[in-house]
Structure 1
């Protein structure tokens, strides 16, 4: 049986419902496929703007447990734009009706959730946890929502997950440098047993994936500062863009991981954001030449974007910001402690400031030209964005992400010490009678 350890003063540890550590979650942004809504996820809260009504949207959640109780880590619209999914550190998976913005169902898992996506026919949605398991659920409101394993990445954190434009594959990336292309099964509840191929070439964690058009091309970015273009059905590496070269490199700050990628649904444009980089890179993906070419570096002075998304008109939406979240122990947490933590998470999210910007035709729009105008900015930013607060929070989220995904490197001596300290290696002394 596990025993509680005392600190160096002999003081017993706090009750597990007390704070264990702190984490920071980056703000995310996404636009619905039809362009009716833009959503910012900040901490445990969703900020939604309805372009049709030119007003904010309040979500309704009568499921149990209601709302999120910790940071939202991934969001996704279904291909038809009728459904929306949110997952995060509270181990809750929530499916929303993206017309009425009511929660259809809440599913509780045993591990924190890192990624979510929908099948192309919107009949299924998949969630990946930090243990490397992908579960599949039906989007039907009447379905029984017991977790069913679709595939797994052998104890490696899955960092991103998307379905191919033709619906034939589900592509997953992980902390262990891998991109896996798996055949999407006709009967998802029976599991996805066919690994079609791997896209191998990154030499650090892979952070993000995006499809370039419908020509069988895949983009990936990672901690090795590289953006790679793949022919994903064969696993062939076609092109590589090194973000450390030219005026993007900065030896004083070190190399910058690629944080997020997005591809325009209307043209061959691709966008990327880097850690500690006040701007966004716009590329063209030449399908004929199967190459990636940097078109322009659009600067966002004072802000490093934490999330990005194209809308159906080719506008690129950027958000900067992050929210602190409190991580609690899993054992002996009372319902009262869970409720208090949820209230705290929602309060932190409501108080968090973000900054939203829009890029059109490779130019940054001023605030007055942003679609939705002041009403949209008030809704998504929460309050007038303070440059210092937003930038500080964004950088803290970047560091937290990098710390989570970077595999620890130990010397031989450190490895031996860790082996000796392992609880499962304790030797019990037996005295002979």
Structure 2
């Protein structure tokens, strides 16, 4: 049966709000629609982004954002097929690269010399930040590194030491690949496959024991589980049935009603925050390195309608940042705001606080810059609308839409793909 949105999928489509935190919590960025909103937490000011790379600005919904490990670089990728790299000291765009397909994920190497991005055909591309003049960059600046061919990549994460890249896809797979020292010249090697999820994998995160150099990989999925992996061997160490423990699943419910949509973790694994489709708040887990066990702690709510679409965390300060919102639903001609909430927590078994507006880093000035307004108290209708649009946006990303034969042929004709035959000569 054709999905109700099949014939008008593009008119009805929305994209979820995204949040990224500088590793040292110097600044925070929210992407909503085609707009990037940045706030300098040290200078206590809203940041104006300057795009002087020679490429056009983002004109369509931004689908992926990230900081580099050192925090000096930031990357954004959008449905307009542009990947942009920003220098965070000046917040100027230093590189613009064009992809043939829409981009689904982006990552910056730990030495901040290379940027990886994945397109919706399942190919992962790499380009260097040390070549070219940065003026009107094109797809020729990027080279294919490897791929999950014909499967959409949902997440790209570097291991803590930067030697491996973990990639997840819509076909239940997690692949761990050694990252070449010279990725434009050397071949990659597959380290392992982490197989065990029974539905699409949505998100990845690494954790490390303070007493060991061995990091571990966390993954969240549409099968409503968070799983822990020894990623070097591909061995699954533990599984947490997070949807069931959070009270979202019963024996008569479908697993897809409690898909994990995002997760983030303190580097030492003392706290893992999980966003679940339909959960008004976040579920908290912890990891016992000695026993190799994931433990569910509690659900923390931040208002009766707040359902986060994206989570962020710094590597130094134990705070969880949550964003909720979605891009404009153009067919309805209305704008939907973004909502930001911050949770302060040292560990799941210690006191956890949802910070008031005046307590969050940057205070109400930060909220005004990232949300578009400060005090949302008394605006239940606006917040409820944002929650409704956010849930719809997450659904657009997770649930594969069905199209009739006529619609598929029409979409193919209007795609406008450009084939560069010279790449294969």
TM-score (norm. length: structure 2): 0.82
Q: Provide the C-alpha distance between the structure 2 equivalents of 1:143 and 1:326, rounded to a whole number of angstroms.
A: 37
Partners of 1:182 and 1:192 within 8 A in 2: no
Q: Report what 2:338 is aligned to.
A: 354
**Residue 257 in structure 1 maps to residue 259 in structure 2:** yes
1:268-298 deviation per Cα after TM superposition (whole angstroms, max 9, x unaligned): 2211100111010111111221111122211
Q: Provide the C-alpha distance between the structure 2 equivalents of 1:66 and 1:58, rounded to a whole number of angstroms.
A: 16
Q: Report what 2:308 is aligned to.
A: 305
Partners of 2:286 and 2:296 within 8 A in 1: yes
> What does 1:252-401 align with in structure 2 at a 5 Å threshold?
254=254, 255-265=257-267, 268-301=270-303, 302-311=305-314, 312-324=316-328, 351-361=335-345, 362-384=352-374, 385=376, 386-401=382-397
Partners of 1:133 and 1:151 within 8 A in 2: yes
Partners of 1:215 and 1:287 within 8 A in 2: no
Partners of 1:23 and 1:324 within 8 A in 2: no
Q: Equivalent residue of 2:12, what SS?
A: strand
User: Aligned in 2, Cα 1:100/1:141: closer, same or farther, shift over 3 Å?
Assistant: farther
Partners of 1:31 and 1:38 within 8 A in 2: yes
Q: Equivalent residue of 1:25, what SS?
A: coil
Q: Provide the C-alpha distance between the structure 2 equivalents of 1:244 and 1:314, rounded to a whole number of angstroms.
A: 24
1:174-227 deviation per Cα after TM superposition (whole angstroms, max 9, x unaligned): 011000011111220035431111000001110000001253210001111111
User: Aligned in 2, Cα 1:88/1:316: closer, same or farther, shift over 3 Å?
Assistant: same
Shift of 1:243: 2.1
1:338-381 deviation per Cα after TM superposition (whole angstroms, max 9, x unaligned): xxxxxxxxx98xx4311111111232112221111110111111
Q: Report what 1:184 is aligned to.
A: 179
Partners of 1:225 and 1:258 within 8 A in 2: yes
> What does 1:70-219 align with in structure 2 at a 5 Å threshold?
70-140=60-130, 142=132, 146-190=141-185, 192-213=187-208, 215-219=214-218
1:89-111 deviation per Cα after TM superposition (whole angstroms, max 9, x unaligned): 11001010111000101111110
- Point out the more displaced range, 217-226 or 62-71: 62-71
Shift of 1:266: 5.8
Q: Report what 2:235 is aligned to.
A: 236
Q: Provide the C-alpha distance between the structure 2 equivalents of 1:227 and 1:166, rounded to a whole number of angstroms.
A: 23
Partners of 1:266 and 1:314 within 8 A in 2: no
Partners of 1:25 and 1:325 within 8 A in 2: no
User: Aligned in 2, Cα 1:42/1:285: closer, same or farther, shift over 3 Å?
Assistant: same
> What does 1:40-79 align with in structure 2 at a 5 Å threshold?
40-79=30-69
User: Aligned in 2, Cα 1:285/1:66: closer, same or farther, shift over 3 Å?
Assistant: same
Partners of 2:207 and 2:268 within 8 A in 1: no
- Point out the more displaced range, 187-196 or 105-114: 187-196
Q: Provide the C-alpha distance between the structure 2 equivalents of 1:168 and 1:244, rounded to a whole number of angstroms.
A: 32
Q: Equivalent residue of 2:15, what SS?
A: strand
User: Aligned in 2, Cα 1:230/1:188: closer, same or farther, shift over 3 Å?
Assistant: same
Q: Equivalent residue of 1:324, what SS?
A: coil
Q: Report what 2:423 is aligned to.
A: none
Q: Provide the C-alpha distance between the structure 1 equivalents of 2:200 and 2:86, rounded to a whole number of angstroms.
A: 31
Partners of 1:309 and 1:317 within 8 A in 2: yes
User: Aligned in 2, Cα 1:365/1:148: closer, same or farther, shift over 3 Å?
Assistant: same
User: Aligned in 2, Cα 1:267/1:63: closer, same or farther, shift over 3 Å?
Assistant: same
Shift of 1:44: 0.6
Shift of 1:135: 0.6
Q: Equivalent residue of 1:395, what SS?
A: helix
Shift of 1:64: 3.5
User: Aligned in 2, Cα 1:141/1:59: closer, same or farther, shift over 3 Å?
Assistant: farther
Q: Equivalent residue of 1:248, what SS?
A: coil
Partners of 1:116 and 1:127 within 8 A in 2: yes
Q: Provide the C-alpha distance between the structure 2 equivalents of 1:363 and 1:376, rounded to a whole number of angstroms.
A: 19
Q: Provide the C-alpha distance between the structure 1 equivalents of 2:50 and 2:110, rounded to a whole number of angstroms.
A: 26
Q: Provide the C-alpha distance between the structure 1 equivalents of 2:132 and 2:393, rounded to a whole number of angstroms.
A: 37
Shift of 1:388: 1.4
User: Aligned in 2, Cα 1:80/1:246: closer, same or farther, shift over 3 Å?
Assistant: closer
Structure 2: gaps spanning 5 or more residues: 1-7, 346-351, 377-381, 411-425
Q: Provide the C-alpha distance between the structure 1 equivalents of 2:276 and 2:328, rounded to a whole number of angstroms.
A: 21
- Point out the more displaced range, 141-150 or 375-384: 141-150
Q: Equivalent residue of 1:396, what SS?
A: helix
**Residue 28 in structure 1 maps to residue 24 in structure 2:** no
Structure 1: gaps spanning 5 or more residues: 1-17, 328-346, 411-416, 424-433
TM-score (norm. length: structure 1): 0.81
